[in-house]
Structure 1
Amino acid sequence: MTALLVIAKQPLPGRVKTRLTPPFTPEEAASLAEAALADTLTAAARVPAARHVLVLDGAPGPWLPPGFQVVPQVAGGLDVRLAAAFAACDGPALLLGMDTPQITPEILAPALCWDAHDAWFGAAADGGFWALGLAVPDPALLLGVPMSRPDTGAVQHARLRAAGLRTGSLPVLCDVDTARDARYVAAEASWTRFAARHARLTASTAGTAS
């Protein structure tokens, strides 16, 4: 079975979702990050997997559901941290970020099947990626990929193709990075904690988020 990994930062003010400020305060941005992380972990926990792992920068909090093994992120750039997460797996692995609270087990389900694919790729609307699955985890596929750029996803996907991997595609999703992203995702995923938190915060700021 597939190991399901979520890579995340502890949602502390000033350390997460800094691009949401303004219009949100650092505390509000951290609150939105916490809701997004809780939604992501809840969806991940409902996916049948060999193990559920939170690869965490920081300390776990009350937002962590039961059933997750928590391991610390290594030091280094994001490519190094992602590569290390895969290196710790001895079988198929699917890695998710914490910025797509709209995910559901149904969205993730195809990436648990490796019969016709060696890799799975979930592109983000901003040019990055929100999910990466590897039947045979190989850290070299990630090391050196430039992160947090408009071409990050394209470069990573090209790495998979260059390695000759049969790559399946997951839906393109919007990462929550900006206030505009937050508003869009909250509207698209009205059932989530993230949407409820966003509604409360934007009501309290009289609709200043844009």
Structure 2
Amino acid sequence: MELIQQNPDISAYLAVSEVIDHDHPLILATAERLYVDHADAYSYAEAAFEFVRDTIPHSADTGDMRVTWRASDVLGQRTGICYAKSVAYVALLRARGIPAGLCYQRLADDDGSNPVIHGLAAVKLPDAGEWARQDPRGNKPGVDARFSVGEERLAWAVRPGFGEVDYPVVHEEPHPAVLAVLRAATDRPHLWRTLPTAL
């Protein structure tokens, strides 16, 4: 899938913000630990992906009621949904000077009902050319997302016949609709009731 860079200035995909706070000591320390054994950009991006995918559980899988949305909180509390885990991954990439952004899919049940927006990350590695989408959501039975800059290895492939959509834009910050529901949620059940269904 061809991704569209929303902001023509690549430095926007390296910027620090309230959400992607990769100047936070916890993110910097985590990035430094990963970098020690993974000094080139490709291996670092893969190590950071596996770190977020495998060591920060998806809160729906564990029953965790907390809602995180700031990258440093995701790492500090070790929990988050797809949006939050993608933000944490983007922060770890930016901490090492690797341009990264956020992407989204619209997914649905097998009958096309209950649509929901799913969050992904995108990375632009040196010499790779194009953006590559990654899904650090976390694996479980039936989900086997892998780091890849060639063929995508996401948790889910969209099914257009079910009303599912791959949104092609790479956002430098979380989509406003996504960030609004994360910030407003009092707990994960509240978040589940208010998740956006389209962008």
TM-score by length of 2: 0.29
* Greater radius of gyration (CA): 1
TM-score by length of 1: 0.28
Q: Which is strand-richer, 1 or 2? A: 1
